[in-house]
Amino acid sequence: MKIWKKLKFPAQEFNLENTLVNGQCFNWRKIGDHHYEGVFSKYYVQVKRDNDAYVQYSTIPPNENPEKEQLFEDQFKSYLNYDANIPELYEHWAQKDKRFSQIAEPIHGVRCLRQDPWECTVSFICSQCNNIKRITQLLETLRKTVSQIVALNQQSQFGSEICEIDQDDGTRRKIYQFPTVEQLQTATEKQLRELMFGYRAKYLVAISKQIVDKGGQNWLESLRGQPNEKIREELTSLPGIGSKVADCIALFSLDCANSIPVDTHVFQIALKLGYVKGLKKDSSLNNKLYLQIVQAFRDKFGDKAGWAHQIMFAGDLKSFQEKISNSNSANTSAQNSKKRKIDEIKDQEEEKEEEEIKVQDVDTKRETRSKRRKLN
Rg (CA), the chain: 22
Instruction: Give the residue with the Cβ less far from DNA, 241 or 273.
Output: 241
Contact yes or no for 101/342 (Cβ under 8 A): yes
Please list every residue from 248 through 267 that binds DNA, using CB under 7 A.
Answer: 248, 261, 263-265
Residue 323 three-state SS: helix
Strand order through the sheet with 54-60: 5-8, 54-60, 43-48, 35-40, 28-32
In the complex, minimum distance from the CB of residue 261 to DNA, in angstroms, rounded to a whole number: 5
Q: Tell me if 128 contacts DNA by CB under 7 A.
A: yes
Selected from 124, 178, 275, 301, the binder of DNA by CB under 7 A is: 124
DSSP code of residue 186: T
Selected from 15, 18, 19, 24, the binder of DNA by CB under 7 A is: 24
Q: Tell me if 302 contacts DNA by CB under 7 A.
A: no
**Considering 244, 280, 352, 358, which one is annotated as catalytic?**
244
> Quick count: other Cβ atoms within 10 Å of Cβ 69?
15
Please list every residue from 313 through 372 that binds DNA, using CB under 7 A.
Answer: 313, 317
In the complex, minimum distance from the CB of residue 321 to DNA, in angstroms, rounded to a whole number: 12
Question: How many residues line the site for DNA (CB under 7 A)?
Answer: 39
Element (H, E) at 44: strand 43-48
Binding flags for DNA, 190-219, as an x/- string (CB under 7 A): ---x--x-xxx-x-----------------
Q: Tell me if 109 contacts DNA by CB under 7 A.
A: no
Contact yes or no for 46/37 (Cβ under 8 A): yes
DSSP bridge pairs for 60 = 44
Indicate the residue type of 74: D
> At how many degrees (to 10) do helices 264-272 and 305-316 cross?
90
Instruction: Give the residue with the Cβ less far from DNA, 72 or 111.
Output: 111
In order, the DSSP letters of 121-171 are HHHHHHTTT--HHHHHHHHHHHHHHHHHHHHHTTS-S---EEEEEE-TTS-
In the complex, minimum distance from the CB of residue 8 to DNA, in angstroms, rounded to a whole number: 28
Binding flags for DNA, 149-188, as an x/- string (CB under 7 A): ----------------------------------------
DSSP code of residue 258: T
DSSP bridge pairs for 54 = 8
Backbone angles phi, psi at 269, to 5 degrees: -65, -50
Instruction: Give the residue with the Cβ less far from DNA, 10 or 198.
Output: 198
Selected from 112, 187, 241, 296, the binder of DNA by CB under 7 A is: 241
In the complex, minimum distance from the CB of residue 193 to DNA, in angstroms, rounded to a whole number: 6
In the complex, minimum distance from the CB of residue 204 to DNA, in angstroms, rounded to a whole number: 12
Q: Does the annotation count 42 as an active-site position?
A: no
Residue length, the chain?
Answer: 376
Instruction: Give the residue with the Cβ less far from DNA, 134 or 230.
Output: 134
Q: Tell me if 117 contacts DNA by CB under 7 A.
A: no
Q: Which residues form the catalytic set?
A: 244
Q: Which residues bind DNA (CB under 7 A)?
A: 22-24, 124, 127-134, 193, 196, 198-200, 202, 236, 238-246, 248, 261, 263-265, 284, 286-288, 313, 317
